[in-house]
Chain A
């Protein structure tokens, strides 16, 4: 019930925002077409500005994934994670979820196919992926677009919040799905 309402809002929100913006513009006699072009130019500038930051982050993440470092971590920390009832297959998701959104979604599909969509591993991963945001990507893009080089406490706050999110996901999944 609540989900259908939220689904409905999600799909109508974009057309709603567009129509309301255009309508208000026309009523207030804003030259909507020229104004749109003006804003769109800014958008293109931003995407050029963030490109170097994106390249730096994505290269590092691609190297990490290709090097096999994550598999090594799985071997090293498997028994430690088992103490907290975390299946070792979830570890790559825990590492990559702050780094790359498309990679983590691919990993999640793998797990769902391999262990079945109704298994504990899949559900735990689902909660972890669903509540995640690619912290390093957001940092690079948001601060990159304005040319900020010193991130100050934003970096540590982002990492700590990710760790807290992982712990919360494990706790909630153990509570509701076991």
Chain B
């Protein structure tokens, strides 16, 4: 991530020098910082709402019930999880919210699942295998109906906006399965984690 971040910024400055858009590029820093804060503020309200509801669902035993239903699948994908881990219910809810395009519900619930996985993580600075798998599930972005895209097509007067539903579903299912397979394959080649007791926070 360090190199990618550096590379994007370096590339921007080089391209700006070439196109003569150096002022625009510098201004983009300030507008970018501003919109990051706006997004975080926007997320704050939604996140607070969903985590509030999730806490009720959790205390009333609802999450545990859903978790029990999906445990066999979850243990297949997340072998390090114990049978009664609270993360299983969160992961299931996160996936369902994504599938139905409720991204503002999916993100807070996904983060909660990530926090549960972090509790089980041996090295708090680096992502565990299960955390990488959960991330792959989310970056692949499986969605049943691309509602916003259909809305844009309809607004532009497309003859049949919903004709993209099936092709999009094909592509999104493919990349979801691909993401899971690839993350599991890469897991085998990835450097194993070192327990944090041996290596105390070096760069914190």
Residues in chain A within 8 A of chain B (CB atoms): 3, 6-7, 9-10, 13-14, 17-18, 20-22, 24-25, 27-28, 30, 32, 35-44, 46-48, 50-51, 54-69, 71-72, 105, 108-109, 112-113, 116-118, 122-123, 126-133, 135-136, 138-139, 141-143, 145-158, 160-162, 164-165, 168-169, 172-173, 176-177
Q: Is the CB of B152 within 8 A of A67?
A: no
CB distance from A46 to the nearest CB of B (A): 6
Query: Which of A7, A61, A146 has most B Cβ within 10 Å?
Result: A146
CA distance A153 to B139 in the complex (A): 13
Contact of A67 among B25, B143, B156 (CB under 8 A): B25
| A3–B162 CB distance below 8 A | yes
Interfacial chain A residues near B144, Cβ < 8 Å: 6
How far is the CB of B150 from the nearest CB of chain A, in Å?
8
Given A66-B24, A112-B156, A153 contacting B190 (CB threshold 8 A) = yes
| Chain B 31-68 residues near chain A, CB threshold 8 A | 31-33, 35-37, 39-41, 43-44, 47-57, 59-62
30 A-B contact pairs sorted by A residue (CB < 8 Å): A6-B100, A39-B56, A42-B55, A43-B50, A46-B47, A47-B44, A50-B43, A55-B33, A63-B13, A63-B16, A66-B24, A67-B15, A68-B15, A68-B21, A69-B16, A112-B156, A123-B164, A131-B146, A131-B171, A133-B140, A150-B125, A153-B186, A154-B136, A157-B182, A157-B183, A161-B139, A164-B182, A168-B171, A168-B175, A172-B167
**Whole-angstrom distance between the Cβ of B93 and the nearest chain A Cβ:** 8
B187: which of A69, A132, A153 is its contact (CB, 8 Å)? A153
Residue B115 is within 8 A (CB to CB) of chain A in the complex: yes
Q: Across the interface, do B140 and A165 meet the contact criterion of CB distance under 8 Å?
A: yes
Contact of B5 among A60, A62, A66 (CB under 8 A): A60
